[in-house]
Chains A and B, each alone.
Chain A
Amino acid sequence: MAYMKGAEIIGESILQLGVEKVYGFPHPPVSELHEYLAKKEVFLPALSLREAASTSLGLSLAGKRTFIITSGTNIHDVQEAVSYAMSFEIPLSIIHVGRSLPGLGNPYPYQGDFDILTGGDFPPLVFSPASLEEIPLLLGKMVALAEKCRVPSVFYIDSALFHMTGDIDVKVMAEPRVWGFADKDVEYFTSVHLDVAVMEKKMFSLIEKFNKIQAEALCESYKMEDAEYAICAYGICGYIAKNLVDLFRASKKKTGLLRPVTLSPFVNLKERMQGMKKIFVIEMSNGQLTGHMKQYLVNMEIIPYCTYGGLLPEQENLFKFIEESL
Chain B
Amino acid sequence: MEQARKIEKVYGYPSLLADKKTHFCPGCSHGILSKVISEVIAEMGLRESAIGVYGVGCAVLMYDYLKMRGAAAFPGGAAGVASGLKQGFQDKLIFTYQGEGDIIYDVSALLGAAMRGEKITVICENNFNMGISGGALSPTTPVGISTTSAPSGREVMKHGFPIRIAELLAGMKGVSYLARGSTHSPGAVKKVKSMIRKAFTMQMYGTGMGFIEIIGMCPTNMHLPPIEAAQRVREILEELPTGELK
B217 at the interface (CB under 8 A from A): no
| B contact residues vs A (CB 8 Å cutoff) | 51, 53, 60-61, 63-64, 69-89, 106, 108-109, 111-112, 115-116
- Cα separation A159 to B69 with both chains bound (whole Å): 41
A164 at the interface (CB under 8 A from B): no
What total of chain A residues lie within 8 Å of the partner, measured CB to CB?
A: 36
- Cα separation A181 to B112 with both chains bound (whole Å): 23
- Cα separation A186 to B63 with both chains bound (whole Å): 12
Given known pairs A50-B106, A181-B69, the reply for A81 and B77 (CB within 8 Å) is yes
| Minimum Cβ distance to chain A for residue B20 (Å) | 14
**B108 in contact with A189 (CB, 8 Å):** no
Given known pairs A46-B108, A50-B108, the reply for A21 and B74 (CB within 8 Å) is no
**A81 in contact with B74 (CB, 8 Å):** yes
A55 at the interface (CB under 8 A from B): yes
A-B contact pairs, 23 of them (CB 8 A): A23-B84, A44-B87, A45-B112, A47-B108, A51-B109, A53-B77, A54-B74, A54-B81, A54-B83, A55-B83, A56-B84, A57-B77, A58-B88, A59-B88, A61-B84, A62-B89, A81-B77, A186-B69, A187-B70, A188-B70, A188-B71, A189-B72, A191-B72
| Minimum Cβ distance to chain A for residue B36 (Å) | 20
**B71 in contact with A88 (CB, 8 Å):** yes
Q: Which of B60, B81, B83, B84 has the most CB of A within 10 A?
A: B84
Please, which residues of chain A bring their CB within 8 A of the CB of B109? 47, 50-51, 54-55
Residue in B60, B73, B75, B115 whose beta carbon sits within 8 Å of that of A57 in the complex: B73
- Cα separation A187 to B79 with both chains bound (whole Å): 19
Residue in B77, B85, B86, B115 whose beta carbon sits within 8 Å of that of A47 in the complex: B115
Task: For the complex of A and B, list the 4 residue pairs with the smallest distance between their C-beta atoms, beginning with the closest.
Answer: A58-B84, A62-B88, A54-B80, A54-B77
How many A-B residue pairs have C-beta atoms within 8 angstroms? Tell me. 124
Given known pairs A47-B111, A192-B61, the reply for A54 and B73 (CB within 8 Å) is yes
| Minimum Cβ distance to chain B for residue A209 (Å) | 20
Please, which residues of chain B bring their CB within 8 A of the CB of A187? 69-70
A190 at the interface (CB under 8 A from B): yes
- Cα separation A20 to B64 with both chains bound (whole Å): 32
| Minimum Cβ distance to chain B for residue A21 (Å) | 5
**Which label, helix, strand, loop or mixed, suits the secondary structure of the B interface?**
helix
- Cα separation A56 to B80 with both chains bound (whole Å): 8
Please, which residues of chain B bring their CB within 8 A of the CB of A56? 84
Chain B, residue nearest A20 (CB): B87
A96 at the interface (CB under 8 A from B): no
A150 at the interface (CB under 8 A from B): no
**B84 in contact with A192 (CB, 8 Å):** no
**A45 in contact with B84 (CB, 8 Å):** no
Please, which residues of chain A bring their CB within 8 A of the CB of B115? 45, 47
**B89 in contact with A181 (CB, 8 Å):** yes
**A57 in contact with B61 (CB, 8 Å):** no
**B112 in contact with A51 (CB, 8 Å):** yes
0 or 1 for each of A72-96: is its CB under 8 Å from B? (1 = yes): 0000000011011000100000000
Residue in B71, B79, B116 whose beta carbon sits within 8 Å of that of A189 in the complex: B71
**A55 in contact with B84 (CB, 8 Å):** yes
**A57 in contact with B89 (CB, 8 Å):** no
**B72 in contact with A46 (CB, 8 Å):** no
A214 at the interface (CB under 8 A from B): no
**B112 in contact with A190 (CB, 8 Å):** no
**Chain A stretch 38-74: residues in CB contact (< 8 A) with chain B:** 44-48, 50-64, 66
**B77 in contact with A188 (CB, 8 Å):** no
Given known pairs A53-B77, A190-B71, A192-B61, the reply for A59 and B108 (CB within 8 Å) is no
**A59 in contact with B84 (CB, 8 Å):** yes
**A51 in contact with B71 (CB, 8 Å):** no
| Minimum Cβ distance to chain B for residue A55 (Å) | 4
- Cα separation A88 to B80 with both chains bound (whole Å): 16
**A44-B87, A54-B106, A66-B84 are known contacts; what are 7 more A-B pairs with Cβ within 8 Å?**
A46-B80, A55-B81, A58-B86, A59-B88, A62-B85, A62-B88, A80-B74
**B81 in contact with A61 (CB, 8 Å):** yes
- Cα separation A191 to B72 with both chains bound (whole Å): 7
Residue in B64, B74, B75, B85 whose beta carbon sits within 8 Å of that of A181 in the complex: B85
**B81 in contact with A58 (CB, 8 Å):** yes
